[in-house]
Homo-oligomer: A and B are copies of this chain.
Amino acid sequence: MSEAAQKQMNPTASRPVRCIVKLGGAAITNKGELESIDEESLRSSCAQLRQAMSHSGAAEKVLGMDWSRRIGDPAEPVVDAESFSEMGGLGLDTNFVVVHGAGSFGHFQASRSGVHKGGLHSTLVKAGFVATRISVTSLNQEIVRALAKEGIPSVGMSPFACGWSTKQRNLVSANASQIIQSLHAGFVPVLHGDAVLDESLDCTILSGDVIIRHLAQLLSPKYVVFLTDVHGVYDRPPTDPNAVLLKEIEVDDNGSWSIVKPALQKGVEISVAAHDTTGGMETKILEAAAIARLGVDVYITKVGTEHSLRALKGDTSWEGWLGTVIRSSK
C-alpha cells in the first residue's frame, strides 16, 4: 500500500464502490493526431457505462445533463426541466469512479518541456506544466460532458486541484475525502492523469494508472475495468499476427504473476510505446497486478465492444468473452 493510502483512515470509505473504470488514452483519443478525441469510442463508452449503471437494464429515455453550448454553436441548449422534475430518481447505480488517460492530450506538452522530469526553476518546465494541465483538463471537460449527455451525473476532479502530490514520483498526498463525499451525494467523479507538484523533483506527471491503484486501495471496488484499444494483454505486440491474447493472469502475494489461460511455453514480450511518458502496457500490467493483489479483479478489454459492456457490468464469465482477467491467486 502506498504511503498516501496508509496515511488515510477515512471511515466513510467503508461503503464499497462498485467499479473503477479507466478510459485509456489510446481508447478514447486518436493517438496519432494532436488533441483529437475518438468521438465514437467516447460516446459508446458513455452509453455502455449508463447501461451498466441502469437498474432496469432496459433502454430508457435519456435526459442529458450537459446544458452548455458548443463554441460556435448558435443553438440554445434544451433543458427538459419538467421531465426531470417528474422522475422519482435517476434509476442508476452511480457508485462508479471514472479515471481517464491523456492519449493525444498532454503528452505533446509534457514531452516537449520535460514536465515529468521536474525542475520548476526552468521556465520551459514551468510553462510545460501550465500547458500540460490546459490540455489534460480540456480532455477531462469533454469526457465529463459526454457522460453528462448520457444522463450520468459526472463531476470533473483534477488531482492537482484536489491537492494530490508526489515525492520522487510516488504518491504522498492523495486525499480522497472529496471523491467519497461526491460518491455519497450520488455523483460520478471523473479524474485524470495530471501534472502535479513533487516534493523532491518540484513537479512530475501522475498517471491515470497510478491514480486507479490508489483509489482501488482506498475504495475497495468490486472490480476495476481498463478500456483500451486492443482486446487485452498479449504475449507479444498485438500487431504481430502470432500474438496470443492472455485470458487469465494470476498474481500471488509476493507480486509475481503467472498466465493461467491459455497455457504458453515461452516468455511474454510486452509492447511499450516509446512516446508514452507514463509508460505503456508494462506499467498497466504492473498496476493491474498491484490492484489484483488487493483482491480486486481487473478486466482489461477493448472499448466499444460487447466485451467492454460485459466487463463494465462485472460479468466476464461468458465463454465468448474476449479480454484479460487479472486476479489474485488466493
Q: Is the pair A123, B68 in contact by a Cβ cutoff of 8 Å?
A: no
Partner of A71, one of B71, B77, B160: B71
Q: A153-B129, A157-B161, A163-B175 are in contact. Are A134 and B123 (CB under 8 A)?
A: no
Min CB distance, A187 to chain B, in Å? 7
Q: Could you say which residues of chain B place their CB within 8 Å of the CB of A273?
A: none
Q: Is the pair A165, B181 in contact by a Cβ cutoff of 8 Å?
A: yes
Which residue of chain B is the closest to A142 with respect to CB atoms?
Answer: B71
Contact flags A123-140 to B (C-beta < 8 A → 1, else 0): 110111111011101100
Task: Tell me the bound Cα distance from A202 to B186 in angstroms.
Answer: 11
Q: Could you say which residues of chain B place their CB within 8 Å of the CB of A134?
A: 65-68, 141, 144-145, 148
Partner of A68, one of B129, B131, B158: B131
Copies of this chain assembled into the complex: 2
Q: Is the pair A34, B76 in contact by a Cβ cutoff of 8 Å?
A: yes
Min CB distance, A277 to chain B, in Å? 15
Q: Is the pair B112, A130 in contact by a Cβ cutoff of 8 Å?
A: no
Q: Which of A82-90, A223-231, A242-250 contacts B (4 or more CB under 8 A)?
A: A82-90
Which residue of chain B is the closest to A84 with respect to CB atoms?
Answer: B124
Which residue of chain B is the closest to A132 with respect to CB atoms?
Answer: B67
Min CB distance, A72 to chain B, in Å? 7
Q: Is the pair A138, B79 in contact by a Cβ cutoff of 8 Å?
A: no
Chain A interface bracket (under 10, 10 to 19, 20 to 34, 35 or more): 35 or more
Verify if A9 is at the interface (C-beta below 8 Å from B): no
Contact flags A63-99 to B (C-beta < 8 A → 1, else 0): 1011111111000110101001101111000000000
Partner of A135, one of B68, B181, B203: B68
Q: Is the pair B181, A84 in contact by a Cβ cutoff of 8 Å?
A: no
Q: Could you say which residues of chain B place their CB within 8 Å of the CB of A68?
A: 35, 109, 131, 134-135, 138
Task: Tell me the bound Cα distance from A121 to B90 in angstroms.
Answer: 10
Verify if A113 is at the interface (C-beta below 8 Å from B): yes
Task: Tell me the bound Cα distance from A256 to B134 in angstroms.
Answer: 43
Q: Could you say which residues of chain B place their CB within 8 Å of the CB of A131?
A: 65-68, 79, 148
Q: Is the pair A202, B185 in contact by a Cβ cutoff of 8 Å?
A: yes
Q: Is the pair B35, A69 in contact by a Cβ cutoff of 8 Å?
A: yes
CB<8 Å pairs between A and B, sample of 17: A63-B127, A65-B134, A68-B134, A71-B71, A79-B112, A84-B123, A87-B123, A130-B148, A130-B154, A131-B148, A133-B156, A134-B144, A141-B141, A161-B178, A162-B162, A162-B163, A163-B181
Taking A65-B130, A133-B144, A158-B158 as known contacts, 17 extra A-B pairs with beta carbons closer than 8 A to each other, sorted by chain A number, are A34-B76, A35-B69, A65-B134, A66-B134, A68-B135, A79-B109, A81-B113, A84-B122, A85-B124, A89-B123, A129-B153, A129-B155, A130-B187, A155-B161, A156-B161, A161-B162, A163-B177
